[in-house]
Chains A and B, each alone.
Chain A
Amino acid sequence: MKKKIENMKYNISEAFELPRDIIMDLPKLTVLGDKEASLLNHKGIIEYTKETIRVNTKSGIFKITGEDLEIKTILAEEIIIVGRIKNIEIIS
């Protein structure tokens, strides 16, 4: 049932060319080189160390690994991570 609604939402947004990240509440990750990553629509931090940051989202867990990672800003919708990013993984 839930899957059906999701599918419908996807189809509607596809048909009307609406931004999918807003309609379906999906995370949006923007990476700037290896220096900065900003993640919109997150659902909370699970782990935060200098080497690994794991963030919960609707599409699963985003795992960002690297060196000297630091949370530049944390807001209800957005997290900005700076440092040297080496690996981005989505664990669903």
Chain B
Amino acid sequence: MLAIKIWNYFKGYVIIRVEGLTLERLLNLAASHDIYLWDVKRINNIVLEMKSTTRGFKELKKIVKKVGCRVEITNKTGFPFLLMKLRERKMWVGGFLLFWAIIFFLSSLIWKIDIVGNEQTPREEIISLLKNNNITVGKIKYRLDKEDIKDLLIENYDYFSFVSVNIKGTKLTIEVKEQDLPPERVDKNYPCHIVAKKKGVIVKVVPKNGKAVVEKGKVVNPGEILITGIITSEFGGETHLVHAEGEVLALTRYSSIIREPIVKNEERFTGKTFTQKGIKIGDKGIQFMKGDIPFENYKEFVEEKSLINLEKYDIDFPIKIVTYEYREVELKEVKQNIDFLKNANQIAATKEINKELPPNAQIQSKNIRHQIDDNILTTQVIIETIEDIGKKLIINNRED
């Protein structure tokens, strides 16, 4: 019934008033003429009020004459009549459309540019770079190409390891990840702090500019300020910002743990194979079973082949023939020489640490510990070094 009501609303319907004495007859005739009437209300002895479609009303008029009643329209409702009404109120309709147009237009502009993660690059520099490439507040967001912005930033700053560009609503967010720069390369026109890039125990602080805030022997965590660029004068209490520079040497610790089983299972193919076929349509597959796999230990190799080869045309045909191949393997327990294993572990762990070590670090000590638990040999290598852990962080990079 609701569907019919919605349909009637779109086609438009009329509320009519019928006056007469033989109203029941009128209703019966209307029903037999397939005129759809609904919400028939008895107002008083000689008056009925009802709803009818516009077409139904026209047909009803003919019947009304036959029966000898009088009919009049009291109200017209529905979409076509609404349109007619609106046609008389052009300014109102215009205002309504203008309102939505303005809302749509304003919400398709960029109103704010946010840059996140720039520790060594001044915010103003990125903004001006974007400005030179015609990306500013007030541009239409659909015209901006995220990939272009990404490429632009990566081309201009070779030490950006990751750039992500996001447009959410009217805000353009650029997120960058920087590699640690050598301190000389940070722009000296901007005030900065020197912060710790890793955990360590301070050995020596040599500030060239700015004021050291840590002392020898202090344990610092990543991100902690070592040499501040905010200087408070001794008398007035006024502060001013400087570009902090200096060397902060700290004792840092690297450790690496490697676990290796002493008795190892080695796998070897015996050469026996067992194959099964299947069909794959889209993501769903059917495997034709040909009995159980006759091996205890095996490895499964799956190969897919399109039913019709369309690779030339760059089309991935959705129906594929799948070959499942099972190759038998033989397990063999091999006991390894412990001394040999200790040596191998130690080399592997040291290699791992070497990857992390900065080139100018001085190695202070190296510690190796071996431990045997059940079947597993655990080797821990700890290397202590002295290195410069300072990293420049530009002050007030954020807008807020």
Where the two chains meet, the residues of A that have a C-beta atom closer than 8 Å to any C-beta of B are 44-50, 69-76
Contact = CB atoms under 8 A, between A and B. Distances in A.
14 contacts: A44-B24, A45-B24, A47-B24, A48-B23, A48-B24, A70-B42, A71-B37, A71-B40, A73-B37, A73-B38, A74-B27, A74-B30, A74-B40, A75-B31
Interface string B22-52: 0110011011101011111110000010000
Interface residues of B, number: 17
B37 A74 contact: yes
Nearest to A76: B31
Given A76-B32, A76-B34, A48 B27 contact: yes
Interface of B: 1, 23-24, 27-28, 30-32, 34, 36-42, 48
A49 B31 CA distance: 18
A36 to B, nearest CB: 12
Contacts, number: 43
Contacts of A45: 24, 27-28
Contacts of A75: 31, 36
A45 B23 CA distance: 10
Nearest to A47: B24
Nearest to A56: B28
A70 B48 CA distance: 10
Nearest to B28: A44
Nearest 6 A/B pairs, CB to CB: A71-B40, A44-B28, A45-B24, A73-B38, A76-B31, A50-B42
A76 B30 CA distance: 8
Contacts of B40: 48, 70-72, 74
Given A48-B42, A49-B42, A71 B27 contact: yes
B196 to A, nearest CB: 78
Contacts of B48: 48
